Amino acid sequence: MKNKIPTLFLALALVGLVAVLSAPAQDQSQGPVLGQTPSTDAQGIRNYLLGPRDVLDVRVFGQSDLSSIVEIDADGNISSLPFLETPIRAQCRTEREVQKDIATAYSKYIKNPQVSVRIAERKSRPPATVYGAVRNPMQVQMMRRARLHELLAKAGGITERASGTIQIVHTEPEMCPEPGEVLVRTSLNSSLEAQLEIYKLSDLKMGKEDADPYIRPGDIVIFTEGEPIYVTGAVVSPRELFLKDQLTLATAIAMAGGPARLAKTSEVHIYRQKPGQSGQEDLKFNYSAIRKGLQPDVLLKPLDIIDVKTVGPFSAPNLIDILKGFQSTAIQRAIIY
């Protein structure tokens, strides 16, 4: 699902990433920190496709003058092998495929050349960065094509701060597209909208394939954090919550354990920041009517403060409860064992 967001918002997200990358390393007891680069798995090493800046160790047995260390150039070719004028195509191929082509090229000069090609350095794929509302922000070396859920698993899953939105910023073009895929050449020089894709965490959890894209090397994957809201007053567990997609008043109160015994559910207050102004407005809602389906639920906004009041201490229902409490206490104290 592609979408557009204001340029300023994306710029702030990238500034946040720079701040995280420049932060000092955490203690090992706190778990992995951003900057560690675990690779996807060994399968990626076996199926690794070469790219620009990868370094190869090319050896021709019995011909030491033909053996050399070569770097794949920006065009994806090997163009510095001794005595070979025609470049050898390397990008998006395995070292075995390149090895066969080099042997074929040298067969014009040597009878049955025995050639070996080994990857000396893998430098063509910058790591993907995962940060935001994940347990272990990190960089992941992309040795093969990997989907979003694999990076989420490596980052330890989401935290309670997750807002439900995932932003993927492309910093590199797709180097080796699959057959039938369109090569989209986006880079940091492209427009911000062209670089950005937005997905919903709920769709990813449901297993929707279009919400679980392949992640490119160099991608920045941001599990966005929700703005805080606060549930206070006569609830079982007053607490801070984090705004998620479609979070409503009834859900927030339920997450706080529900109304306490003496809660005034007919009038719940939401103190909300005035748009573009200082101060708050006091909004009142009938929680009981919402629960009964008589009134629509209320969508919450960032920094909302939900305040559940108590009924008057000397109203008839409360007074009876208080007297019952005193009576129970008196009876317990009068018993002699």
Q: How far is CA 328 from the centre of its chain?
A: 54
DSSP 87-143: PEE-TTS-HHHHHHHHHHHHTTTSSS--EEEEEEE--S-PPEEEEESBSS-EEEB-S
Q: pTM of the full predicted structure? A: 0.68
Buried b / exposed e along 219-252 (16+ C-beta atoms within 10 A): bbbbbbbbeebbbebbbeebeebbbbeebebbeb
Domains of the chain: 7-42+125-225 (3.10.560.10), 49-121 (3.30.1950.10), 228-310 (3.10.560.10)
Q: pLDDT, tens digit, for every residue of 31-90?
A: 333 444 555 544 456 678 999 999 999 999 999 999 999 999 999 999 999 999 999 999
Model pLDDT, residue 88: 96
The answer to whether residues 142 and 43 touch, using CB atoms and an 8 Å cutoff, is: no
Alpha helix stretches (DSSP H) within the chain: 7-21, 42-46, 95-106, 148-154, 192-195, 201-205, 249-255, 287-291, 316-334
Query: What pLDDT, in 10s, does the model give residues 242-264?
Result: 998 889 999 999 999 999 989 99
For residue 259, which amino acid is it? P
Amino acid at 52: P
Q: Is the pLDDT of residue 296 over 50?
A: yes
Among the listed ranges 5-9, 114-118, 278-282, 326-330, which one has the minimum average pLDDT value?
5-9
CA atoms within 13 Å, Cβ hemisphere of 284: 5
Residue 7 has pLDDT above 80, yes or no: no
Q: Are 175 and 50 in contact (CB under 8 A)?
A: no
Tell me which DSSP letter residue 34 carries.
Answer: B
Residue 210's contacts (CB-CB under 8 Å, 6 or more residues apart) are: 1, 203
Of the listed ranges 183-197, 198-212, 246-260, the one predicted with least confidence:
183-197
CB 252 within 8 A of CB 43: no
Using the predicted structure, report yes or no on whether residue 5 has a pLDDT greater than 60.
no
